[in-house]
Amino acid sequence: MESLTQKVALKFSKANFVPEKVTNRYFHRGNLVKLKSPTTTTITTITTTPTRNTPVSPPIFVSKRAAVPRAGEETELKTTRIRDPVSSADMASKDPILKDDRIARISSSIRVIPDFPKPGIMFQDITTLLLDTKAFKDTIDLFLERYKDKNISVVAGIEARGFIFGPPIALAIGAKFVPMRKPKKLPGEVISEEYSLEYGTDKIEMHVGAVQAGERALVVDDLIATGGTLAAAIRLLERVGVEVVECACLIELPELKGRDRLGDKPLFVLVSST
């Protein structure tokens, strides 16, 4: 564990001025991974959702977890609107910005477990969100509000937790669901896409024939960390001629800059967790 040096930087939350710890470690499929460039930035603003070449509506919400908890403590969440609301009642019923109570509930229903699965990891546990029927429904509804009229025919869900959020979205928008799985899990013929980790590589796979060239896809996962998994999913779909419209995640860990790895592909997230 000593070789995985934990770079710690003090930073101040704009919301509460409580010093927080920032770590350059995260985990990938149960393993600790050390980032090449440690995160030492002082963050005083809330991260936004996509800004580049977004074919659909502009950024909606972000939420920020307030403080890194000590063992056994729950995390507090701060939710911030990043655009001023409009006043008309009609807009209020349509504009999700005015429904940010949903985001606050979603944020606070995600449990953060320190030191799981390894010391130093702040695990974002979405199983507690699934226990809260309103938060779970609100999560799906927010995605549906964004994707229902976007002519998407494929929802590609990434194993494992993209299999929880992807299918209800696919069913509701009338798209097929395509699982993107870890190696050697799919029984039929597959195409694979490898992606690099600091030490070694990883891979995701998709069944040959699951999608056709020219289809429009949404890629869904629970969380983006370094962005390696989503970037590989995008490449896999584009290799067979599918147009990836956007990636959608419940949670982003912005300090890991995974968004940068997606190039110009838009990313939509509900909760930003630091």
Ligand X SMILES: O=P(O)(O)OC[C@H]1O[C@H](OP(=O)(O)OP(=O)(O)O)[C@H](O)[C@@H]1O
Ligand Y SMILES: Nc1ncnc2[nH]cnc12
What are the φ and ψ backbone dihedral angles of 67, each rounded to 5 degrees?
A: -130, 150
Stretch that binds ligand X, among 45-53, 171-179, 208-216, 219-227 (CB under 6 A): 219-227
Question: Residue 163 interacts with ligand Y (CB under 6 A)?
Answer: no
Question: Residue 250 interacts with ligand Y (CB under 6 A)?
Answer: no
Of 13, 49, 226, 273, the residue at the interface with ligand X (CB under 6 A) is: 226
Contact 59, 74 (CB under 8 A): no
What residue has token string 């069913």?
171
Question: Residue 159 interacts with ligand X (CB under 6 A)?
Answer: yes
Of 97, 122, 190, 271, the residue at the interface with ligand Y (CB under 6 A) is: 122
The DSSP code sequence of 100-161 is: HHHHHHHHHHSEEEET-SSTT-EEEETHHHHH-HHHHHHHHHHHHHHHTTS---EEEEETTT
Question: Residue 221 interacts with ligand X (CB under 6 A)?
Answer: yes
Show the beta-strand stretches assigned E in the chain.
9-12, 19-22, 25-28, 31-34, 61-65, 77-81, 111-114, 122-125, 154-158, 176-180, 190-196, 201-207, 216-224, 243-252, 267-272
**Catalytic (active site) residue 198:** yes
User: How far apart are the C-alpha atoms of 252 and 206, rounded to whole Å?
Assistant: 24
Q: Between residues 25 and 102, which has the closer beta carbon with respect to ligand Y?
A: 25
Question: Residue 49 interacts with ligand Y (CB under 6 A)?
Answer: no
What residue has token string 């920020």?
64
Of 218, 225, 237, 245, the residue at the interface with ligand Y (CB under 6 A) is: 225
Of 50, 157, 166, 228, the residue at the interface with ligand X (CB under 6 A) is: 228
Question: Residue 160 interacts with ligand X (CB under 6 A)?
Answer: yes
Q: Between residues 13 and 229, which has the closer beta carbon with respect to ligand Y?
A: 229
**Catalytic (active site) residue 161:** yes
CB of 45 to ligand Y, least distance (A): 21
Residues 23-42 that bind ligand Y (CB under 6 A): 26-28
Q: Residue 123 binds which one of ligand Y, ligand X, none, with CB within 5 to 8 A depending on kind?
A: ligand Y
Of 229, 272, 273, 274, the residue at the interface with ligand X (CB under 6 A) is: 229
Strands 216-224 and 243-252: parallel
Catalytically annotated residue among 74, 83, 198, 239: 198
Of 142, 173, 223, 271, the residue at the interface with ligand X (CB under 6 A) is: 223
Catalytically annotated residue among 161, 181, 259, 261: 161
Nearest one of 48, 54, 52 to 245, comparing CA atoms? 54
Gyration radius (Cα) of the chain, Å: 18
The terminus-to-terminus CA distance of the chain in angstroms comes to: 23
Binding-site ranges for ligand Y (CB under 6 A):
26-28, 121-124, 223, 225
Residues that bind ligand X (CB under 6 A): 28-29, 158-161, 221-229, 258
Catalytic residues: 161, 198
